[in-house]
Structure 1
Amino acid sequence: MSAHPSRRHRLPSDASFLEPLAERARRGDVLVTRDPDPRDPDPGDRPVRRSAVLIHVAGTGFENASLVLEERGHALRSQPGQFSLPGGGRDPGDRDDVHTALREAQEETGLDPADVRVLGAFAPIPMPWRIQRVTPVLSWSPSVPPLGVQDPIEVERLVWAPLVGPGSLTDPAHRLRGTLFGQGVGPVFDLPGDAFVWGFTAMIVEKVLTGLGLDPVPPTAPVQEIPHERRR
C-alpha cells in the first residue's frame, strides 16, 4: 500500500520546482502553525486521534503543476460539501502517517501508491477542537494520474487545481479573505467550477504556495462570507 522505501524522499530532476517545500517535508518541519485558543477543549484522558492528508502535486514545473482536491460527499455528517485534501484517520494496521495518507487517497480517489513519489511528511498539526493531530504528507507525480471517485457517498468529485495561470490558486481573481458570521477565517480560494476552498484546507494550500515561493493571499484581497452550502 505504501510507496517502496527507495522511492520515498527522493526528488527527481523534473520535480526540482518542489525543492523548497520538499526539503522542509524531509525535515518534518511545521507547515501550519496555530495560536492557542482559550476555547480549545481540555482533552483530559481522551486519546488524541491521528490522521493524515496527502498534498499531491502533479506536474514538472509551475506552468503545468496542479494539486488534487476533493469535494466531500453531501450526505456526510462531518463537513458535507466542503473541499479537502485526500486523507483520513489512522487505522490500526497503518505503519505510519505516510501509509495512512496513501491508503486513504487510494480508497477515496483510486490513486495507485506505485504512481507516487513521497517527498516527506510535515509535523503533525494539532486540532484541539477535535482532539486530533493531522500530518500533511507531500507527494509528487510527473503527470496527472488516473483518478476517480471510489465511493460517491464519501466523495462527490475530484478537482485538479493549477498552481499558476488563469483560474489557478494564484490567480488574483480567485483569491479572497473569508468571513464566517462576520469573523475572519483566513484565505479562501474560489476556483472555477464552484470549487470553494476555505478553512483548514485553505490554510494548508496557502502554506504550500508560500513554501514554493509563490505569494500568499494578500490581506487586501476581497472579503467574502462563506456560502451556506460550504459551511455545514
Structure 2
Amino acid sequence: MTVPFAGTGESVDLPDFLLPLAARARRGEVLVRRDADPRDPPTDGVPVRRSAVLILIAGTGLEDAHVALEERGHVLRSQPGQFSLPGGGADPGDLDDVHTALREAQEETGLAPRDVEVLGAFAPIPMPWRAQRVTPVLGWSPTLPELGVQDPVEVERVVWAPLTGAGSLADPAHRWRGLLHGQGVGPVFDLPGDAFVWGFTATILEQMLVGLGLDPVPPDSATRDIPPERRR
C-alpha cells in the first residue's frame, strides 16, 4: 500500500506489518469491544462527549516499531500519573475525530502534523459511565518524530514503547493481568522506566498488538496489583 506521506510530500510504501491494521482503521472497524458494565448509566437524554486518541506507530518493521505514550501530569484531577495515548476531548472547532486526535497530540507532545500519516480511525468506543465516546485514530511515521512535553501540568513525560523485543509490549516479562481491589482489570504492561500501563490504554494497546499479528496478554498470565500511585 502506498500513501502520500505528509512529511515529504512524496508517496511512500506503508510497511507490510501495518497493512492489516491500517485496512481495519480505514474501514472504521471496531478495535475494542465493550461488554455491558455495571457503571453504565441510562443514556436517554444524556449528552455524549466526543474524544479521540492517537495510536502513533513509528518504524518500518516490527523489529524497530514504537508507539507513543504519555504520563499524565501528577496534579491533574483526572487520572494523574497514569499512562495514556495522546488525545482528549473534542473542541467546537474540530472538523472530526482525526482533527481532535492530531490537535491534542500537538498540544500535548509537540507532534507536527507533517510528521504523521493518518491511516484511518476505528469505531468509537462507548464509555457510558463517563457519558463519553473515544475514537482511536491510527497514525504512522517511518521514523520517531521529535516529541516532548509542552505543558508540564498536563503531561509529565512522553515515552516511546517498543512493540517487540526486550522490554517491549510483546515481552512476556513485562505483561500481566491487572488487579484492582482484588478485581481483574484486564491487561497491564509494566515497562522499563516505571512506565506502568493499565486500564483503557492497555486494552487499546493489546488490541493494537493483536491487529499487528502479535499475541494478546494471555488470560492465565500472572497477576499484578495496580500500584497506588497509578490508580488515582
CA deviations on 1:132-167 (whole Å, 9 max, x unpaired) are 000000000000001110000000001100000000
2:126 is paired with a residue whose SS is strand
Residue pairs, 1:1-232, within 5 angstroms = 12-232=12-232
Between 134-143 and 40-49, the greater mean CA deviation after superposition: 40-49
Residue 86 of structure 1: how far off its partner (Å): 0.1
The 2-side partners of 1:64 and 1:7 are apart by: 19
Percent identity at matched positions? 74
1:55 is paired with a residue whose SS is strand
The 1-side partners of 2:97 and 2:103 are apart by: 10
1:148–1:39 Cα change, 3 Å: closer
CA deviations on 1:80-107 (whole Å, 9 max, x unpaired) are 0000000000000000000000000000
2:204 is paired with a residue whose SS is helix
Residue 6 of structure 1: how far off its partner (Å): 5.9
Opposite residue 152 of structure 2, the aligned amino acid is: P
The 1-side partners of 2:188 and 2:94 are apart by: 32
TM-score of the superposed pair, with normalisation by structure 1: 0.95
CA deviations on 1:162-214 (whole Å, 9 max, x unpaired) are 00000000000000000100000000000000000000000000000000000
Aligned 8 A contact 1:178 1:186 in 2: yes
1:65–1:45 Cα change, 3 Å: same
Residue 122 of structure 1: how far off its partner (Å): 0.2
Equivalenced residue count is 227
The 1-side partners of 2:14 and 2:50 are apart by: 32
TM-score of the superposed pair, with normalisation by structure 2: 0.95
Task: State the superposition RMSD in angstroms.
Answer: 1.6
Aligned 8 A contact 2:55 2:85 in 1: yes
Between 40-49 and 50-59, the greater mean CA deviation after superposition: 40-49
Residue 46 of structure 1: how far off its partner (Å): 2.2
The 2-side partners of 1:90 and 1:15 are apart by: 30
1:18 is paired with a residue whose SS is helix
The 2-side partners of 1:184 and 1:25 are apart by: 29
Between 44-53 and 24-33, the greater mean CA deviation after superposition: 44-53
Structure 1 unaligned residues grouped into runs of 5+:
none
Residue 17 of structure 1: how far off its partner (Å): 1.3
Structure 2 unaligned residues grouped into runs of 5+:
none
